[in-house]
Structure 1
Amino acid sequence: MICSFVINFKPLEFGNKIKKYSLDKDIEYFLLNNGIDKKQLKYITISNFLTKDREIEEEKNYSIRFSSIDSKTTLEILKIFFYKRLTNETLKISNTTFLVSNIYHNNKYSKQLDLESFLENPLKDEITIKFLTPTFYKVGSIFIGTEDSRYFFKNILTKFKRSSIGNQFNIGNLDFSKVEIKEKNIKKVYIKTFNIEAIQGEITYKLVDNKDTKLKEMFNILGYFSEFSGVGHGCNKGYGQAIYII
């Protein structure tokens, strides 16, 4: 099961002040302390882009979006939070006590990947991806913030092969130089931690050779899959959150 889901957290007792930009990282530490290992973190995305406040405040609910490309990891994370929800047991994140007030699995940002239904639709020559949070890539020891379509598709392909469904496809060699950017509406966002200008906004990718049927199929699948895998580096810390615009 590859899916995304949104969990509502309600702060009850405050310890350290939690800033919006550190909330996803603090939740990552919570998961590590509750049975999720570092290898599994590579399969998940955690993002607070639904959170508007700069700091976590009292008497409010905060929505965090999770997604996972590994079925086993998905079930383990849901098990942790469903147990907290059903028993009203609180949890500690950065010395602040939270209650899991709700878990959503079927709304705009919570859904299950359904490739069978997706592939029943005609394959497109153009797809649009909205990068909700700053997105950048890591190549070796170098961080790169780029719009280049080859970085996007190669990164998602690597994650797709690593996912629970990757071995179901005979992918072969794909030439992503046959994909170009048709339109873009992006801004550059400087990330001090990595000393990099990341991208954020919308990009429409166009397949210039639609006679390559395998490339066309994977062009569509990878665009759809990116919504669950996240794009680029640091997706388990809130970077690279994307949605596939229908």
Structure 2
Amino acid sequence: MWNSWVVVFQAQQDGKVYNSAKEILKYLQPHLKEYRGYTCSGFLKKDEFEAGEKVVARFTSLSSEVQGVINMILFRNKVTHTTIDIDNKPFLVTNIDLCNSQYAYQFDETADDDEFSPTCKVRLLSPAFFKVGDMYRAELVEKLLVRNMTAMYKKHTGVSIDKSLLSIEVVEQYKVRTDGKEMVKGEFIVRDIGVEVYKLMQFIQFFGIGYKTEEGYGAVQVEGVD
């Protein structure tokens, strides 16, 4: 079962955390060494916090076992009111949301679902950019999208998808500047979807597209098109 859920942390003192998602994962890493297929995203929020202010993080995992390990640690912190260190700053866990957030959902990748739409629209909810070698690109191009999505899928699931199975049409894109970087937002259509590509479309809803998705970039919404 693929999982997406939200955890709310509360700052216990004024301070600055440059990359909250990265620092949260660093705190959890000793317990996750034997696992793969999980992320923590920071929703692109500001990095300077006052005492009492909340930090929202979205977690994704490709197995319920990993979700259980992460939540066991965080729930123990929550019920004992034990702070966790995020970039050497104390935070309390105030809420673990498994079902009420728009980012809290599941997907059973083992189910035989043959009723999906053969065409879907992918909309970027947050700006994205792509890394190609030593260069950064802020554009939606079919070849770039196919390469990025299939590479991420293989990295996290170990499964390769034939790139020729993807037919993508970019219908809208525009440049934006976020955190001093040029990025892109927009929409694209994926056509002639079979079972493998359907799972890939579900996967990107959990892991996003592009570079540095763990910081909240490249979050997407996928909708079937009649």
Alignment TM-score, normalising by the size of structure 1: 0.74
Within the alignment, does 1:58 sit opposite 2:54 as a pair? no
Give yes or no for contact 1:190–1:197 (8 Å, CA) kept in 2. yes
Unaligned runs of 5+ in 1: none
Within the alignment, does 1:24 sit opposite 2:21 as a pair? yes
**Pairing partner for 2:115 from 114, 118, 121:** 121
- Larger deviation: 143-152 or 102-111? 143-152
Aligned equivalent of 1:229: 207
Q: Deviation string for 1:205-245 (max 9, x for gaps)?
A: 142xx4xxxx5333333222101122122222333222324
Give yes or no for contact 2:3–2:104 (8 Å, CA) kept in 1. yes
Within the alignment, does 1:45 sit opposite 2:39 as a pair? yes
Within the alignment, does 1:137 sit opposite 2:130 as a pair? yes
Q: Give 1:172 shift.
A: 6.0
Q: Give 1:180 shift.
A: 1.7
Within the alignment, does 1:7 sit opposite 2:7 as a pair? yes
The residue identity in structure 2 corresponding to 1:236 is E
Unaligned runs of 5+ in 2: none
The residue identity in structure 1 corresponding to 2:28 is L
Q: SS where residue 127 of structure 2 aligns?
A: strand
Aligned equivalent of 2:168: 179
The residue identity in structure 2 corresponding to 1:2 is W
Give the 3 Å change call, closer, same or farther, for CA 86–122 of structure 1 in structure 2: same
Using the alignment, how far apart are the partners of 1:233 and 1:103 within structure 2? Answer: 27
Aligned equivalent of 1:35: 31
Identity score, percent: 24
Give the 3 Å change call, closer, same or farther, for CA 131–149 of structure 1 in structure 2: same
Q: Give 1:120 shift.
A: 4.2
**Pairing partner for 1:91 from 84, 89, 99:** 84
Alignment TM-score, normalising by the size of structure 2: 0.79
Give the 3 Å change call, closer, same or farther, for CA 61–118 of structure 1 in structure 2: farther
Give yes or no for contact 2:139–2:173 (8 Å, CA) kept in 1. no
Within the alignment, does 1:218 sit opposite 2:196 as a pair? yes
Using the alignment, how far apart are the partners of 2:87 and 2:44 within structure 1? Answer: 19
Using the alignment, how far apart are the partners of 1:176 and 1:245 within structure 2? Answer: 19
Give the 3 Å change call, closer, same or farther, for CA 115–70 of structure 1 in structure 2: closer
The residue identity in structure 1 corresponding to 2:13 is E
* Map 1:141-180 → 2, pairs under 5 A: 141-164=134-157, 167=159, 173-175=162-164, 178-180=167-169
Q: SS where residue 13 of structure 1 aligns?
A: coil
Give the 3 Å change call, closer, same or farther, for CA 150–77 of structure 1 in structure 2: farther
Give the 3 Å change call, closer, same or farther, for CA 234–128 of structure 1 in structure 2: same
Give yes or no for contact 2:123–2:222 (8 Å, CA) kept in 1. yes
**C-alpha RMSD of matched pairs (Å):** 3.1
Give the 3 Å change call, closer, same or farther, for CA 98–190 of structure 1 in structure 2: closer
Q: Give 1:153 shift.
A: 2.9
Q: SS where residue 126 of structure 2 aligns?
A: strand
The residue identity in structure 2 corresponding to 1:189 is R
